[in-house]
Homo-oligomer: A and B are copies of this chain.
């Protein structure tokens, strides 16, 4: 079963891949590993802004992290790599949060659960989730990824 078919089964439509907001590229492949740039959350083309613990609910934060995950998949698809995924190796989840917020793991699960839904066991990854002071464009969540590819 292709990943495209799996996404269709799950009722997931990938967003249009966002152009980098600066001088870098969305994905670099080296040695069979794709390094995906940090993706912020978009909803209908607008950045999902805000700060956990202040003006973003847990539920909306989880949705934002899932949106970051969808953008990672969209970037892989745009690079022609989506069907080549052997393993999601590592996600880095950066949560825009107040100093007293402590539920970063729940937020990051929005992206993590998506990977497992889409790739099954190959979507099980290592992860680091931290709370940051601020994110590009005021985004609520940013997630980057290291993804192993099947040999061509």
Contacts and interface: CB of A to CB of B under 8 A. Distances in A.
A14 interface: no
A63 interface: no
Contact of A51 (B98, B99, B125, B148): B99
A118 interface: no
Copies of this chain assembled into the complex: 3
Contact of A106 (B22, B24, B90, B98): B22
A131 interface: yes
B37 A130 contact: no
21 contacts: A22-B108, A22-B127, A23-B113, A24-B126, A26-B126, A28-B126, A30-B86, A30-B87, A31-B148, A35-B90, A36-B126, A37-B128, A51-B99, A92-B128, A97-B134, A98-B133, A98-B134, A131-B132, A131-B134, A131-B135, A132-B133
A10 interface: no
Interface of A: 20-28, 30-33, 35-38, 51, 53, 86-87, 89-92, 94, 97-106, 108-109, 112-113, 116, 124-138, 142, 144, 146, 148
